[in-house]
C-alpha cells in the first residue's frame, strides 16, 4: 500500500513530468464510486479546462491546486498508481480514470482494486480527515508525538497507524520505525517513557527520509520510467529470518489485523 514515501515519490514524478502548467481537456471516470465528492458529473465538469498550478502532499493524499481555486485530491488506496503517458499509447486495462492534458498526454490513475479515491473541493482542509503532524515537517517534534500518545491505552503499533496521530505512516513504515527505535509493537502507547518517544520520533523521521532518498535516486537513475514501489525497509518481513542487528529470529504477529514483524531481542515487550 502506498505510504508517505510512495505518495511523495508520485508527487515528485508528476512535477518532474511537468504536470503543473498543463490543463485538463477531458476527464474519463471509469469507476464512479472512486469520486467521493462532488457528483461524478460535477467532478468532470469542474475539472474541464482547469490548469494544474501546484502539487502538494498531506499524509497519503496528493493535492493538485487548480487555477479555479479548487483542489483535486487523490488518494491512491491500496494499489493505486499514477502515470503520465501519451494519449496515443494504449492504456493498461487497470487504468480506471484518465485526465487528458492539453499537450496530447494523459494523467492515468491505475487502480486494480478500486480502493483509490478522488475529490474536487474548494477547501481541501475541510475535505481531508483529521490528520496529525506531517512527519517530515518541523511541526513533528518529540513533544508533538508525546502529546498524541498521552493517555492512549492502545498498542503503539495501532496508534501509529492512525492518521490523526502521525500523517502518512502505514503498516510497513510503522514496523520499520518501531524496529529502529527498539520498541515492541504491543507496548501501550501511554507507557512509553520520554527516552523511547525521542527514539521513536527520530526513527520515524529517519526511515521516511531514507526511503524518500532511495526513491529520489531510483527516479534519477530510471527516468523516464521510474519505479513506484521499492524495498526500502531494513527489518525482514518474514517469520524466522535473522535480525540484521542481533541475528535473533524475527517474529511475526498480528496487531489489529495487520501483519506485524519485530525482533524479540531488539524490541522487548517489557522494560
Strands 117-121 and 35-37: parallel
- Which active-site residues does the annotation give? 2-3, 60, 258
CB atoms within 10 A of CB 187: 20
CB of 206 to Zn ion, least distance (A): 17
Of 150 and 248, which CB lies nearer to Zn ion in the complex structure?
A: 248
Of 9 and 203, which CB lies nearer to Zn ion in the complex structure?
A: 203
Question: 82 - beta bridge partners?
Answer: 109
Q: Using an 8 Å Cβ cutoff, are 174 and 255 in contact?
A: no
Diameter of the chain by CA atoms? 61
- Cell digits of residue 53: 498550478
DSSP 188: B
Of 90 and 247, which CB lies nearer to Zn ion in the complex structure?
A: 247
CB of 219 to Zn ion, least distance (A): 32
Of 12 and 237, which CB lies nearer to Zn ion in the complex structure?
A: 237
CB of 243 to Zn ion, least distance (A): 3
- Helix locations, 170-253, DSSP H: 171-181, 194-222
Give the containing element (helix H, strand E) for 105. strand 105-110
- Residues that bind Zn ion in the complex, under the rule CB under 5 A: 243, 245-246, 248, 263, 265-266
End-to-end CA distance of the chain: 32
CB of 169 to Zn ion, least distance (A): 21
DSSP 117: E
Of 167 and 243, which CB lies nearer to Zn ion in the complex structure?
A: 243
CB of 262 to Zn ion, least distance (A): 9
Q: Which residue is nearest to Zn ion, using beta carbons?
A: 243
Amino acid at each position: 500500500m502506498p505510504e508517505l514515501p510512495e505518495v511523495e515519490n508520485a508527487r515528485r514524478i508528476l512535477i518532474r513530468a511537468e504536470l503543473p502548467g498543463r490543463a485538463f481537456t477531458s476527464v474519463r471516470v471509469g469507476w464512479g464510486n472512486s469520486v467521493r465528492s462532488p457528483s461524478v458529473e460535477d467532478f468532470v465538469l469542474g475539472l474541464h479546462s482547469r490548469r494544474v498550478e501546484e502539487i502538494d502532499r498531506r499524509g497519503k493524499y496528493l493535492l493538485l491546486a487548480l487555477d479555479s481555486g479548487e483542489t483535486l485530491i487523490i488518494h491512491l488506496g491500496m494499489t493505486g498508481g499514477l502515470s503520465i503517458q501519451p494519449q496515443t499509447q494504449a492504456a493498461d486495462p487497470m487504468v480506471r480514470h484518465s485526465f487528458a492534458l492539453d499537450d496530447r498526454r494523459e494523467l492515468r490513475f491505475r487502480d486494480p482494486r478500486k480502493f483509490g479515491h478522488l475529490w474536487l473541493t474548494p477547501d481541501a482542509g475541510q475535505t481531508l480527515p483529521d490528520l496529525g503532524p506531517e512527519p517530515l515537517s518541523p511541526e513533528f517534534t518529540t513533544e508533538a508525538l508525546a502529546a498524541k500518545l498521552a493517555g492512549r491505552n492502545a498498542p503503539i503499533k495501532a496508534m501509529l497507524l492512525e492518521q490523526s496521530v502521525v500523517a502518512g505512516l502505514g503498516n510497513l513504515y510503522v514496523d520499520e520505525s518501531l524496529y529502529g527505535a527498539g520498541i515492541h509493537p504491543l507496548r501501550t502507547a501511554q507507557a512509553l517513557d520520554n527516552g523511547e518517544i525521542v527514539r521513536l520520533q527520530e526513527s520515524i523521521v529517519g526511515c521516511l527520509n531514507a526511503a524518500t532518498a532511495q526513491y529520489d535516486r531510483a527516479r534519477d537513475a530510471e527516468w523516464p520510467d521510474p519505479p513506484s514501489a521499492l524495498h526500502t525497509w531494513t527489518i525482514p518481513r518474514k517469520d524466522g529470518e535473522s535480525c540484521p542487528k542481533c541475528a535473533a529470529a524475527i517474529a511475526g504477529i498480528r496487531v489489529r489485523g495487520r501483519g506485524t514483524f519485530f525482533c524479540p531481542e531488539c524490541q522487548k515487550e517489557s522494560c
